[in-house]
Amino acid sequence: MADIPTSDGLKDLSLYSNGSPEAVNSLVVCFGEMLIDFVPSVSGVSLAEAPDFQKAPGGAPANVAVGISRLGGSSAFIGKVGDDEFGRMLADILKKNKVNNSGMRFDQNARTALAFVTLRADGEREFMFFRNPSADMLLHESELDVNLIKQASIFHYGSISLIEEPCKSTHHAAMALAKKSGSILSYDVNLRLPLWPSEDAARNGIMSIWDQSDVIKVSEDEITFLTGGDDPYDDNVVLDKLFHPNLKLLLVSEGPNGCRYYTQQFKGRVPGVKVKPVDTTGAGDAFVGGILSILASDTNLYKDEKRLRDALLFANACGALTVTKKGAIPAMPTRDEVHNILKHE
C-alpha cells in the first residue's frame, strides 16, 4: 500500500480542474436518469412515518454532471424526462448549474420519474419508486445527441438505464459510439435492487457491460452483491472477480473511510475527510464528479500513483462536503470549498 498523501500536492490539481485551456475541451457526458427525489422533512424516519416531504432534483448521472460543473469542469447530460412541470424544472436546474442539457429529451406520454427516499433511524436507506414506465426508461437510440457523445473526453453512466427497453439498447448504442470516438468509459454501479425484476437480473444486467468500461466505481455493499457474498475488503476478491484485463481504474468507495483504488500497476487506499454528516445523499456522486473532473483533463492520471492519490483525496473531500448539507445537487461543492477543507486536513 502506498503512503497517505499530504495536501501539498493538491495545489497542482487546479491545473487539471478547468484552470488550463485544455479543460474547455475536456467534456464529461453523463448518460441516464434524472428524477425528482422526495425526502422527509425530518431525519431518521421510515417513509410511512414521514410527516411530509421536500422535493429535490436527483438521479446519479445528473448529480455527477452538476458536481463536475460546480468544480469548474465541463459537463453535459443525456437522458429523458416527462414533458411536464417536473421535467422542465429539471432541465432548468441543469442549465442554471451550467450543465449542457441539449441532449435531454421530453416525452409527452410518460411522466418524469419520482423516488421517495429516506434514511431510517437504523441507518438503512429506504426507497419507493414511481416509474411505470417513467420517461427516463423510454429514451430511444434515434433520440441520442450523437455529436455531443462524440465530443466526450469521458462518457459516464450507471446501471439503472440497463433495466428496461428501449433505454437499455440506447445505453449500449451510446457506449459503443463513445468508445469508437475515443472516450474513456466510466461506470458507477449505483445498485438499486427494488427497480430490477430479481437479484439475478440485477447481477447479470450490471455485469453485462463490465468488461467494456475503463473506469468503474463500486461500493463495498455492491462488491458483496456482485460476488455472491464475498468479503469486499479482500484485495484478492476484488482483483480476481472484478478487475478485468482492459480496466484502467477500479475505485471502491468506503463512505467516511475514503476509498481504495486498483490499477494494472498498483493498488492502495486514500483516507476520507472527516466532517459532521447531515445527509449522505449524493456523496458518492460528488466523489465521482471530483475524480472525473480531474481525469477529463489528465487522462493518464491512473498511470501516476502520486497524482492519482492527490486526485482521490480531492474526490474524497468532494464527497465529505456533500454530506454536510441536505440534498445532492444543492450540496455539490465548489473547487474553492474543496481546497479550503483540505488545507485543514
Cα Rg for the chain, rounded, in angstroms? 19
CB count within 10 Å of CB 257 equals 13
Q: Which residues contact 206 (CB under 8 A, 6 or more apart)?
A: 159, 162, 189, 191, 226
The string of pLDDT tens digits covering residues 264-277 is 999 999 999 999 99
Q: Is 284 helix (H, G, I), strand (E, B) or coil?
A: helix
The string of pLDDT tens digits covering residues 137-179 is 999 999 999 999 999 999 999 999 999 999 999 999 999 999 9
Pick the catalytic residue from 136, 188, 285, 298: 285
Instruction: Judge whether residue 30 has pLDDT over 70.
Output: yes
Q: Please say if 145 is a catalytic residue.
A: no
Q: How confident is the model at residue 8 (pLDDT cuts 50, 70, 90)?
A: very low
Q: What is the pLDDT of residue 25?
A: 65
Q: In the predicted model, what is the mean pLDDT of residues 49-60?
A: 93
Q: How confident is the model at residue 9 (pLDDT cuts 50, 70, 90)?
A: very low
Alpha-carbon distance of 218 to 253, in angstroms, equals: 6
| 44 DSSP 8-state letter | B
For the chain, give the percent of residues with pLDDT over 90: 83
The string of pLDDT tens digits covering residues 94-121 is 999 999 999 999 999 999 999 998 878 8
Q: Which residues contact 43 (CB under 8 A, 6 or more apart)?
A: 119, 279
Map grid coordinates 458483496 to a residue: 224
Q: In the predicted model, what is the mean pLDDT of residues 184-198?
A: 96
C-alpha cell at 189: 454501479
Helix axes of 85-96 and 60-70: crossing angle, nearest 10 degrees: 30
Q: In the predicted model, what is the mean pLDDT of residues 309-324?
A: 97
Cα–Cα distances (Å) from 61 to 57, 92, 229, 249, 251, in that order, read: 12, 16, 27, 19, 17
Q: In the predicted model, what is the mean pLDDT of residues 245-255?
A: 97
Which residues, in sequence order, are bridge partners of residue 100? 76
Q: What is the pLDDT of residue 89?
A: 98
Give me the phi and psi of 103, to 5 degrees please.
Answer: -90, 5
- Do the Cβ atoms of 330 and 322 come closer than 8 Å? no
CB count within 10 Å of CB 231 equals 13
Alpha-carbon distance of 24 to 169, in angstroms, equals: 30
Alpha-carbon distance of 216 to 219, in angstroms, equals: 10
* Total-model pTM: 0.92
Instruction: Judge whether residue 5 has pLDDT over 60.
Output: no
Alpha-carbon distance of 254 to 242, in angstroms, equals: 17
Cα–Cα distances (Å) from 325 to 181, 197, 280, in that order, read: 38, 34, 9
